[in-house]
């Protein structure tokens, strides 16, 4: 049975960085956000009494063959044991040409020839921000799947999303604070029902309050689902990973049953020693403060949501430092 790992988390939680740390292992084959291109025909928020085994397994059956540059070519690229010298060179060259072809609107898939004789046990890894609300259904349908869920302080996460919206990094997407279709699904979760949160209440909130509430509802839904799969799920704080990248990365590798190696250690060190200002870069110096872009009024609005729902587990870890 194949070993499968998924890194999930809300947008701007550090999921790409966490996924690339795992991808740095020589035996890992990575797919970046495949569910953004291979659509899973199920709701964005699913529940334990619903059966989506067939749809999820059909999606999973396509991941290995999904060789678009978006899925296979997320930078940086690492040396892999399952590539011999020729196939490794072909893979990296095909990523370059696929990117070039994409600019000309010419379809061109990445060439990924895996030589199993060159490798030990292969590990399939994928990363998603779209399937966060499906986490329980994914684990139920895929018994060999392990999930790493990244959760970030609401100040830093919301500040990063607002920066992206301001700089048009989410072209074609409804602003997060106005995505009432997603809210409608979130309001059917047990936590929202228990706290009597209605769509009318949501619409009466300020945009930044809605952003904080959406994150609370998603995270609560995930944490509740993971309670049923404790041996196959690991919750990682972005701040803990940022403050102790080597120690936390080693712990994640232990959970994934991956051996620590020189390539992974080198990437963790390099990714935290320089700061690339590109929005989607994984090279970010920990000392750079994203939260400073929030005004005091912004922080008070987020804090108001946190204080309004004291039973929330996802915000409990941050309540004392707000």
Cβ neighbours of residue 143 closer than 8 Å, sequence gap 6 or more: none
**What's the residue count for the chain?**
322
pLDDT value of residue 285: 86
pLDDT value of residue 314: 84
How would you class 7 by CB atoms within 10 Å of its CB: exposed for 0-12, middle for 13-18, buried for 19 or more? buried
Could you give phi then psi for residue 55, rounded to 5 degrees? Answer: -65, -40
Quote the tokens at residue 32.
């970046």
Quote the tokens at residue 195.
């706290």
Q: Quick one: the chain helix, strand, coil %, rounded to 5?
A: 55, 10, 40
Q: Which CATH architecture has domain 3-82+119-317?
A: 3-Layer(aba) Sandwich (3.40)
Measure the CA–CA gap between 279 and 181, rounded to whole angstroms. Answer: 26
Cβ neighbours of residue 275 closer than 8 Å, sequence gap 6 or more: 283, 284, 285, 288
212 touches 305 (CB < 8 A): yes
Task: Please tell me the pTM assigned to this model.
Answer: 0.95
Cβ atoms within 10 Å, residue 227: 10
Residues of the chain with pLDDT under 50: none
How would you class 65 by CB atoms within 10 Å of its CB: exposed for 0-12, middle for 13-18, buried for 19 or more? exposed
Measure the CA–CA gap between 263 and 26, rounded to whole angstroms. Answer: 8
**By C-alpha distance, which of 46, 40, 98 is closest to 74?**
98
pLDDT value of residue 3: 87
Measure the CA–CA gap between 171 and 15, rounded to whole angstroms. Answer: 20
**By C-alpha distance, which of 79, 66, 75, 73 is closest to 118?**
79
Spell out the long-range contacts of 64-68 with Cβ–Cβ below 8 A and sequence spacing 24 or more.
64/29, 64/124, 66/31, 66/34, 66/37, 66/38, 67/109, 67/110, 67/111, 67/112, 68/37, 68/98, 68/109, 68/110
Measure the CA–CA gap between 269 and 246, rounded to whole angstroms. Answer: 8
Tell me: the pLDDT tens digits for 162-220?
A: 999 999 998 778 899 999 999 999 999 999 999 999 999 999 999 999 999 999 999 99
pLDDT value of residue 236: 96
Would you call 175 helix, strand, or coil by DSSP?
coil
Quote the tokens at residue 11.
């947008």
- The angle, 0 to 180 degrees and rounded to 10, between the axes of the packed helices 154-166 and 207-226 is 130
């Amino acid at each position: 049975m194949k070993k499968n790992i998924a890194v999930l988390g809300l947008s701007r939680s550090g999921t790409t960085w966490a996924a690339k740390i795992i991808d740095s292992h020589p035996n890992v084959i990575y797919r970046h956000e495949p569910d953004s291109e291979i659509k899973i025909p199920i709701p964005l928020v699913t529940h334990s009494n619903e059966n989506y085994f067939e749809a999820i397994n059909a999606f999973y059956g396509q991941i290995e063959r999904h060789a678009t540059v978006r899925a296979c070519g997320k930078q940086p690229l690492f040396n892999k044991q399952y590539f011999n010298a020729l196939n490794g060179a072909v893979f990296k060259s095909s990523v370059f040409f696929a990117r070039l072809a994409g600019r000309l609107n010419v379809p061109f898939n990445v060439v990924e020839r895996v030589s199993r004789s060159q490798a030990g046990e292969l590990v399939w890894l994928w990363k998603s921000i779209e399937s966060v609300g499906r986490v329980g259904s994914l684990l139920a349908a895929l018994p060999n799947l392990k999930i790493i869920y990244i959760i970030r302080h609401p100040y830093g996460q919301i500040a990063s999303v607002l920066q992206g919206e301001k700089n048009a990094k989410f072209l074609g997407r409804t602003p997060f604070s106005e995505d009432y279709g997603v809210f409608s699904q979130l309001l059917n979760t047990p936590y929202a029902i228990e706290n009597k949160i209605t769509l009318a209440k949501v619409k009466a909130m300020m945009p930044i309050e809605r952003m904080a509430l959406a994150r609370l509802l998603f995270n609560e839904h995930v944490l509740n689902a993971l309670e049923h799969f404790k041996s196959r799920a690991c919750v990682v704080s972005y701040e803990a990973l940022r403050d102790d990248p080597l120690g936390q990365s080693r712990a994640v590798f232990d959970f994934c049953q991956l051996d620590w190696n020189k390539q992974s250690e080198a990437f963790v060190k390099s990714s935290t020693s320089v700061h690339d200002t590109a929005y989607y870069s994984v090279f970010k110096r920990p000392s750079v403060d994203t939260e400073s872009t929030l005004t005091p009024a912004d922080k008070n609005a987020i804090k108001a949501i946190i204080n309004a729902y004291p039973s929330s587990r996802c915000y409990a870890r941050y309540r004392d430092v707000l």
